[in-house]
Amino acid sequence: MCAVTVCRCELVTDEDVARAIDDWDARTLNEVKLITRAGKGACQGRCCFSLLRAFVARRLEIEPATLQAPRLRLPVRPVPMALLAVLAERREHE
């Protein structure tokens, strides 16, 4: 059977998720995110969260609803470095 892509940004498959749980002792969505990179890409998990939760819950044999969402991080959506740098300069001149 072919592997299923769970996170399209980081090309993480259901097999990667299973390895994170079996080989690296991941027990939470945040841990699976940290170990596999699922949800660490450009969409920051907005696209893959439900699918990831379903696969993790199935592997751990628990209810999906019992799994907490991974942490959300600043700046939420990608912000150009050049824009951040301009904002930093403006602050220094204020």
Partner 1 sequence: MSSVRNHDVVVIGGGIMGCSAAYFLARDGLDVALVERAVQVGTEASGRNAGGIRQNARHPAEVPLAMASVKWWEFFRDELRGAFHYEQHGNLSLACTEEEVRGLQQTAVRLRSIGLDVRHVQGADLKELCPNLSEMVLAANYCPTDGQSNPILATRFIARCARDLGATIYLDTPVVGLAMHGGQVTAVETAHGVIGTDAVVNTAGPWANEIAVMIGSRLPILARPTQVAVTLPMPPVLRQFISGNTVYIRPTRTGNLLVGGGGPWDVLGFTRENTYSSIRRFAARGMQILPALSGTSMLRAWAGILAVSPDRVTIVDRMPGVENMVVATGCSGHGFCLGPGAGQTLAEMVQGRAPSTDIEGLRLSRFPPGLDINAVYKTEPEPM
Which residues are near partner 1 by CB under 8 A?
Answer: 10, 24-25, 27-28, 31, 34-35, 37, 40, 42, 44, 71, 73-75, 78-85, 87-89, 91
**Residue 32 CB, nearest approach to partner 1 (Å):** 12
**Contact predicate 15/7, CB 8 Å:** no
AA identity, residue 12: V
Q: Which two tokens stand for residue 80?
A: 């150009």
**Residue 43 CB, nearest approach to partner 1 (Å):** 10
**Contact predicate 35/24, CB 8 Å:** yes
AA identity, residue 79: V
Closer residue to partner 1, CB minimum distance, 1 or 23: 23
**Residue 23 CB, nearest approach to partner 1 (Å):** 9
**Contact predicate 53/64, CB 8 Å:** yes
Closer residue to partner 1, CB minimum distance, 66 or 91: 91
Closer residue to partner 1, CB minimum distance, 2 or 88: 88
Q: What are phi and psi of 6, to 5 degrees?
A: -90, -50
